[in-house]
Structure 1
Amino acid sequence: MGFLAVLVAAVAGFAVGAVWYMTLSAPWIAASGVRLGPDGRPAKAEGVSPMIIGFVAMVVVAGMMRHVFAMSAIDTVFEGLTSGLGIGAFFITPWLAMCYGFAGRPARLAMIDGGYAVAGCGVIGLVLALF
């Protein structure tokens, strides 16, 4: 049952990312500096590789969150949601901000990507707690 919970949570986190980046595609493209081709899509699109890598990353994050939740006895919906939001807000987003700061990337990019980390981890935590 644990593997199923991780897979469902990963799918939910990935789906949040799809909605997040479809909604914020224009500001994300502007902040990230991704060049667009004549068709309006990223010029150096790599086919399905980013999607596969992204989903595998979601499985890894959801799996580790499940482990942390089990070790911490996080088992209610409220605890799962708030713990997920906290992981995104206080672990992932500061790490992104630090890396982006050293790389000279715009703060707006850290805000967009960090916002997804918060929302995605919140949903993963919520789903894990439902199992």
Structure 2
Amino acid sequence: MDFLSVLIAAAVGFGLGAVWYMVLAEPWMAAAGIKRGADGKPEGGQSPAIFAITFVMLLLVAGMMRHTFALSGVDTLGKGFLSGLGIGLFFISPWIVINNLYGDRPFKLSLIDGGYATSACALMGLVLVLL
């Protein structure tokens, strides 16, 4: 059951990312400096490998969250949500900000990406304690 919860949590995080970045596509592409063709889509398109690797990375995050939750006694919806929120807000988002600072990227990019990381971890935390 643990692997299934990790798999579902990663799928939920992936799904949220799809919605998040569809809604914020314009400001994200502008902040990230993505060059676009005449059709408004990124030049050169996107390789399917990006999506596969993204899912694998989300599996790693969900798996470590599950392990940490088990060791820490995180076993209720409130604890799962709050712990996931804390992981996104206090572990992942600061790292995103650091990377973007050194890459001389706009702070808006950190807000968009950090907002996704925080929201996705919170939802993944809920899924991990539900299953």
Please show how residues 49-88 of structure 1 align to structure 2 within 5 Å.
Answer: 49-88=49-88
- Paired with 1:77 and 1:122, the residues of 2 have a C-alpha distance of 10
SS at match of 1:82: helix
Partner of 1:46: 46
TM-score (norm 2): 0.97
Report how many aligned residue pairs link the two structures.
Answer: 131
Worse-superposed segment, 114-123 or 33-42? 33-42
> Aligned partners of 1:122, 1:50: CA distance in 2, in Å?
23
- Between the aligned partners of 1:117 and 1:7, the Cα distance in structure 2 is 17
After superposition, give the CA deviation of every residue in 1:65-116 in whole Å (9 maximum; x if it has no partner).
0000001010101000010011000000001101110110110000000000
The CA RMSD over aligned residues, in Å, is: 0.8
TM-superposed deviation, 1:52: 0.5
Moved more, 105-114 or 31-40: 31-40
- Could you list the structure 1 runs, at least 4 aligned residues long, displaced by more than 2 angstroms after superposition: 44-47
TM-score, normalised by the number of residues in structure 1: 0.97
Residue identity in the other structure for 2:64: M
Q: Which residue of 2 aligns with 1:105?
A: 105
State the alpha-carbon separation in 1 of the partners of residues 120 and 64 from structure 2: 14
**1:103 and 1:67 mapped to 2: Cα distance?**
32
Q: Give the distance between the partners of 2:79 and 2:50, measured in 1 at CA.
A: 31
Give % identity. 51
